[in-house]
Amino acid sequence: MNPVEARDFREVMRRFATGVTVVTTILDGRPKGLTANAFASVSAEPPMVLICVNRQARSHPLIARAGHFCVNILGLEQQSIAEKFASHEPVDPFDALAYTAAKTGSPVLDGTLAFLDCELAEEHSAGTHTVFIGTVLACGVRDGAPLGYFNAAYRDFGCRITSSSNT
């Protein structure tokens, strides 16, 4: 059986709606980060999450070296922040960006919908990516609508859909 072509796989995955995060860390006193949508909860007890990062990404080796990371879940009004961290331009996305240090020292971006500050627990190689699993040491939330991503574009997923059926 022939494997699925990468082009076809990417086209299918573009149809999966996701939230948008910026994963941050700090190493040698300098904040670093990347936009990511490959993020999921792993366990509630103990609280753990995972992120998948392409080994070609500039920030990839920093997470392993720092031993910690913070997942910043972006709100609808933070699309420009997602774009800054996704850019391949040599501009520092932290310029003029307000943040505070989490328990691990990783940056928590001001105004995010939620954050999960994590200590790196495990790393697993999977294809072109590394799956980083973190134990959540601190977290927080605020009210607001999430920034979404679908079919290669940012989206507004903030509207609530209710069902009229009682199932």
Segments making up each domain of the chain, as ranges:
6-156
pTM across the whole model: 0.90
Confidence at residue 120, expressed as pLDDT on a 0 to 100 scale = 98
Mean pLDDT value of segment 83-108: 92
- The pLDDT tens digits for 42-63 are 999 999 999 999 998 888 899 9
Mean pLDDT value of segment 28-39: 92
HSE-up of 60 (CA within 13 Å, CB side)?
14
Which CATH superfamily is 6-156 part of?
Electron Transport, Fmn-binding Protein; Chain A (2.30.110.10)
Alpha helices in the chain (DSSP H): 6-13, 60-66, 79-86
- The pLDDT tens digits for 103-115 are 999 999 999 999 9
- The pLDDT tens digits for 153-166 are 999 986 665 665 55
